[in-house]
Amino acid sequence: MLSHHDRTELEKIERSLELSDPDLAAALRDGKRPKSRALRSAFLIVVDVLAVMLLVLGLVLPDPGITLCGILALTGTVWTHVARHRI
């Protein structure tokens, strides 16, 4: 059994966590693991590399369709990185 002081301190920590990171607080409350940002970051890096390779392939080959796909893919990856860092 916790003392009154310990319960008060835990409640303060809980309120602080709820204000600073509500997603983590909800995950801890529900018993779920928070989503892994490392996996998401690794996936974005793979998509970045593929987009650059597509653009280079489109510039080497005389096919404007591949170049356009590479430009669109790079635009999407840049937009995704900017949107991630704004949150």
pLDDT in tens, 16-62: 888 888 877 777 788 776 667 778 888 888 989 999 999 899 889 88
Residue 70 burial class via C-beta count within 10 angstroms: exposed 0-12, middle 13-18, buried 19 and up: buried
Nearest to 69 by CA among 82, 52, 46: 52
Q: What's the confidence (pLDDT) of residue 49?
A: 92
Count CB neighbours of 26 within 10 A: 12
Please give the pLDDT value at position 87: 59
- pLDDT score of 19: 86
* pTM for the full predicted model: 0.54
Domain ranges of the chain: 1-34, 36-87
pLDDT value of position 41: 81
